[in-house]
Amino acid sequence: QQYDFGMIGLGVMGRNLLLNMADHGFAVAGYNRDPSKVTSLKEEAQGLQVYGTSDLKDFISKLKRPRALMLLVTAGPAVDMVIKDLLPLLEPGDLVIDGGNSYFADTERRAEELTPKGIHFIGVGVSGGESGARFGPSMMPGGSKAAYDVVRPIFESIAAKVNNEPCVTYLGPGAAGHYVKMVHNGIEYGLMQLISEAYDILKRGLGLSNDELHEVFKTWNEGELKSFLIEITAQIFLQNDDKTSGRLVDSILDSAKQKGTGKWTSQCGMDLGVPLSIIDIAVTMRYVSALKKERVTAAKVLPGSTPKFNFNGDKQAIINQVRDALYFATIAAYAQGMTLLKVASDTYKYELHLGEVAKIWRGGCIIRATLLENIRVAYHKNAQLPSLMVDPDLSALLLQRQESIRRIISHSVQAGIPVPGLSAALAYFDAYRTDRLPSNLIQAQRDNFGAHTYERIDTEGIFHTHWN
Ligand code: 6PG
């Protein structure tokens, strides 16, 4: 038998995507060097048209020609190694898809290396974790449109659906798909940081128990904040710990790891001159969290105010303000990420339609949220929006909540609870809406000490002054 699609790398993502394809009636083959991974695939694939092997030649020979195969291996050198092994076995016209979290410049380079050999190469961001891969991910393909069209029916049938529309669409040439996935992850870092700050405020500032935290997040997930990350956060507070009689969340070390996609997003923002302060601070806070030992020492050396909110009256009113502050900052985080996509699209000629990006993020992916429908509509109305923050509907949502985020940040600062993500969101909003920033002084200083010149507000041209 010949198979429609092949998967190289049968870790949980590769295996689940393959099973998802098989569920949708496609005959699929999987390859992994490690035979135990092949065995697990076969065990889970009972009754489905799934072939598994640890023999690369055998795997390639089982695929219908022209072949379509996806790599789901660890991003980085492993991708190049697999491509090197594959090349002698492939023929012109075959399609290689990289479904990992590859760095976009690597995708660009790989496409350039493979195209002259007649091999099509497309980079696809796949989001949704284990269960997304198994039951419906969001997929972000970029590269050759003609090559994408070959696998489009498979992708559209396995992707998550929102209003019966698949959460996958061709995004643009080159590494557009992997770039969009990187920014997805940058936004993911920002949102996770913001949610963790809300948790800190509710837990240490207001003294909420895990059961109360569950209730608060569950309620939030029924309103405007409805999203995958809020939903799992609500669930997390209920998980019991097997080792203690308490809740698991309280036994987890407060040191957050990362695989690099958030950092890449920040670096790309710096490269293109796009402010991404919420994402930057989210990456920074993962580093701060990693300094566990130093923090434990510093906690004794640098005592501060007690992390209890000082307020009179209604706890629920404060909880609602935290909700509004989180929503405000969430809008700002999406605004920063989407603006990076806009600038990157202009720079790298990705021809991105930001409304389409928002559309395929509405389901399946980690940052799926009802807010993405508002974002889709905003770009549908005006594809050239310089920032989501000035869209008439989204700006109204921000303005209604600015008082809340100011209050919550003030309370947190007083109580010594770090809220760098919320603060970055508000400062970005305040800076963006300031028609005259103090940067005139920076220009004066630059010209004063280094003759770096300045422009004037009243006359065109470049000026330099011999400062007294
Ligand atoms: C997804 C996720 C996924 C990513 C994790 C972990 O879209 O399904 O973004 O691709 O690997 O979020 O990322 P970190 O280990 O860097 O936190």
5-174 is classed CATH 3.40.50.720:
yes
First to last CA, the chain: 85
For ligand 1, the distance from its centroid to the CA atom of residue 128, given in whole angstroms, is 9
* pLDDT digit string, tens, across residues 421-441: 999 999 999 999 999 999 999
**Which residues of the chain are modeled with pLDDT < 70?**
none
101 assigned binding-site residue: yes
Check 37, 62, 181, 263 and give the catalytic one.
Answer: 181
At 305 the pLDDT is 87
The pLDDT > 90 percentage for the chain reads 98
Considering only CA atoms, which residue is closest to atom 1 of ligand 1? 127
In whole angstroms, give the CA distance from residue 436 to residue 425.
Answer: 19
382 assigned binding-site residue: no
Per domain, the residue ranges of the chain are 5-174, 181-432, 437-468
448 assigned binding-site residue: no
At 312 the pLDDT is 82
| Global pTM value | 0.98
At 313 the pLDDT is 80
For ligand 1, the distance from its centroid to the CA atom of residue 96, given in whole angstroms, is 22
Ligand 1 atom closest to residue 259's alpha carbon, by position in its atom list: 16
Phi, psi of 225 (to 5 degrees): -85, 0
Is 129 touching ligand 1 by the criterion CB < 6 Å? yes
181-432 is classed CATH 1.10.1040.10:
yes
At 195 the pLDDT is 99
**Angle formed by the axes of helices 392-415 and 371-381, to 10°?**
140
Domains 181-432 and 437-468 share a fold: no
For ligand 1, the distance from its centroid to the CA atom of residue 338, given in whole angstroms, is 18
CATH number of 437-468: 1.20.5.320
Lookup result for tokens 């987890």: 252
Spatial contact of 23 and 48, defined as CB atoms under 8 Å apart: yes
At 311 the pLDDT is 81
For ligand 1, the distance from its centroid to the CA atom of residue 449, given in whole angstroms, is 45
Is 259 touching ligand 1 by the criterion CB < 6 Å? yes
190 assigned binding-site residue: no
- For residues 48-61, one letter each, b for 16 or more C-beta atoms within 10 angstroms of the residue's C-beta and e for the rest, the string is bebbbbbebeebbe
For residue 212, indicate whether it is catalytic.
no
